[in-house]
Amino acid sequence: MIYDGSGSLKDCEFVEDRRYVRAFRNKFRTNTRHIIANSSAIAHRTISTNVTIPKDVKKWLDYPRMKGLCKQNHKKLKEELISDRRRNGMTLSTRTRRDMSYLFQIPGTQWCGKGYRATKYTHLGSFSKTDRCCRRHDTSCPYWISAYETKYGLFNWRLNTIMHCSCDERFRACLKMADTSDANFVGKLFFNIVQTKCFVLKVKKLTLQYIFNTSDLRNLQTQRRIQEQLLVMKNCFFT
């Protein structure tokens, strides 16, 4: 759940895949132990029963309620996006750029953040190395799914475009090679804080049988066909 400064829900996601839930819980426990072990200034308390849960925390543990709020938020965002695009003569099939995050704009760049600042492809901000990474990421990825668009069997309910994981991996590597404070900031914002999803495609083998003679079934031909199929949505972290 992502909230703005006034407490309004801006974005959210719920995951039902047990593998990802288990991985998240394990990572959360590991990070919590690390924080407790390395910081004496942070107070912590173990909550073992429902009775000891503070009232202001209980609402965050009501999963059905949180899931309902998340669905309402997705519906509201979709309606607002459709209305806005109609006013501007756009359609849902129009490709939108891959925002670093629709909540942020990155100072010192022309390509990193909400919308383009650059008026030409050659225009770069003062953080030119980081800007080149963002520019390539936003303009050269061959596989993408725009906001509220269905493609490759997946509906993207997010306000930002999601891209093929190879494009995100290349973007991550570019930022790491830039090795500047601003590149590290963009990488941590994009991959660790916003945790934007990506997708991959896999080759699926289909077996087709052809009967050339109805009285003789000995002639069977096996043919391969490549089918693009969504394999998994996943995160890539920046360390």
Mean pLDDT of 15-23: 73
Neighbouring C-beta atoms of residue 90, cutoff 10 Å = 13
Q: Mark whether 74 is an active-site residue.
A: no
Of residues 11 and 176, the one with the higher pLDDT is: 176
SS3 state of residue 10: strand
Q: Is residue 101 classed exposed, middle or buried when 0-12, 13-18 and 19+ CB atoms within 10 A define those classes?
A: buried
pLDDT at 167: 92
User: With left for phi above 0 and alpha for psi between -120 and 50, is residue 7 left, alpha or beta?
Assistant: left
Catalytic residue among 34, 44, 123, 137: 137
Domain boundaries, the chain: 1-90, 93-239
pLDDT-above-70 percentage for the chain: 61
The pLDDT tens digits of the residues spanning 103-139 come to: 456 777 888 876 567 778 888 888 889 899 999 988 8
* Helix 165-178 × helix 128-139 angle, to 10°: 170
DSSP 8-state secondary structure symbol assigned to residue 105: B
Mean of pLDDT values over 213-219: 46
pLDDT (tens digit per residue) in 153-176: 788 877 778 889 899 999 999 999
Least confident of 61-65, 77-81, 213-217: 213-217
Q: Tell me the CATH number of domain 93-239, given options 1.20.90.10, 3.40.1190.20, 3.30.70.20, 2.60.120.260.
A: 1.20.90.10
State how far the Cα of 184 lies from the Cα of 134, in Å rounded to an integer: 13
157 to 33, 92, 96, 131, 169: CA distances (angstroms): 34, 12, 13, 27, 22
